[in-house]
């Protein structure tokens, strides 16, 4: 089945220690998104890639970076995690063609704990 | 700016009872509307969506929603709740012609009592 995969499902890191979360997809979608979801809150968009074009949300902290080496993979890098960065991180994909919109499909998420 | 309001952060129903989860949005342009469900420690699963056409949309697991433009609403219903429906439900909106970014409501946690 075509799907969105996130690894690892659970990640523990130390305060200030860089961490990378991984997302891969077999849907061949041209758009990949990263969301942050804190406990009992709605998902909040951090940034997205439209093909190789990176689109950062205005209020996303500089501490968060992303890489998309190819269509299938996208990474979320947190350079110096703080306690406030503990959250579920959700990856999503969609097929966006010129002038049209398709549905976003989500992965299972990575729950990040910062000690 | 777009916003999504979900009335009631917690809704509790008995098994077999009607489920009604409310969603209102604010937007001055045409919108696309979505309902997602999230089970504990899992990602979001699409329940249903409204892009255009019939305003009554049927989704998975017996859920449906009706788009009412005059009321700027997209309420989610299911005639008979099942224990497996217990989860958190998110309404989301995307403006037509935009980059397709979703704006989510704060979510409604549904509990189902036996």
Mean pLDDT of B40-64: 90
What band does B1 get if pLDDT is binned at 50, 70 and 90?
Answer: low
Partner residue opposite A104 with nearest CB, options B51, B102, B105: B102
Q: Which residue has the higher pLDDT, B95 or B58?
A: B58
Please give the pLDDT value at position A99.
60
Output the average pLDDT for chain B: 90
Taking only the tens place, the pLDDT of each residue in A19-65 is: 999 999 999 999 999 999 998 888 999 999 999 999 999 899 999 99
What per-residue confidence (pLDDT) applies to A40? 83
Q: How would residue B30 be classed by pLDDT, with cut points 50, 70 and 90?
A: confident
At B62, phi and psi to the nearest 5? Answer: 80, 5
Measured CA distances, A56 to A49, A100, B44 (Å) = 9, 21, 22
Tell if the CB–CB gap between B32 and A101 is shorter than 8 Å: yes
Cross-chain residue pair A106–B44, CB shorter than 8 Å: yes
DSSP codes joined into one string, chain A: ---EEEE-SEEEE-TT--EEEEEEESS--SEEEEEEE-TTS--EEEEEEETTEEEE-TT--TTEEEE-SSSSEEEEEESS--GGG-EEEEEEEE---TT-----EE---EEEEE-
């Amino acid at each position: 089945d075509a799907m969105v995969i996130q690894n690892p499902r659970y990640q523990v890191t130390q305060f200030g220690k860089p961490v990378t979360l991984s997302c891969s997809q077999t849907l061949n979608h041209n758009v990949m998104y990263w969301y942050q979801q804190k406990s009992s809150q709605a998902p909040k968009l951090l940034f997205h890639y439209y093909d190789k074009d990176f689109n950062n949300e205005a209020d996303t902290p500089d501490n968060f970076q992303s890489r998309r080496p190819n269509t299938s993979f996208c990474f979320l890098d947190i350079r110096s995690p703080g306690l406030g960065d503990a959250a579920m991180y959700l990856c999503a994909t969609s097929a966006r063609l010129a002038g049209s919109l398709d549905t976003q499909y989500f992965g299972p998420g990575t729950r990040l704990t910062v000690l | 700016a777009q916003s999504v309001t979900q009335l009631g952060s917690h809704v509790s129903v008995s098994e077999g009872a009607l489920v009604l989860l409310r969603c209102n949005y604010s937007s001055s342009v045409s919108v696309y509307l979505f309902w997602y469900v999230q089970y504990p420690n899992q990602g979001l699963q699409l329940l249903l969506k409204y892009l255009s056409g019939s305003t009554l949309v049927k989704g998975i697991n017996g859920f449906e929603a009706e788009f009412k433009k005059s009321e700027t609403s997209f309420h989610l219903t299911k005639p008979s709740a099942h224990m497996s429906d217990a989860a958190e439900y998110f309404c989301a909106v995307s403006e037509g012609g935009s980059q397709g970014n979703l704006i989510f409501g704060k979510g409604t946690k549904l509990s189902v009592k036996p």
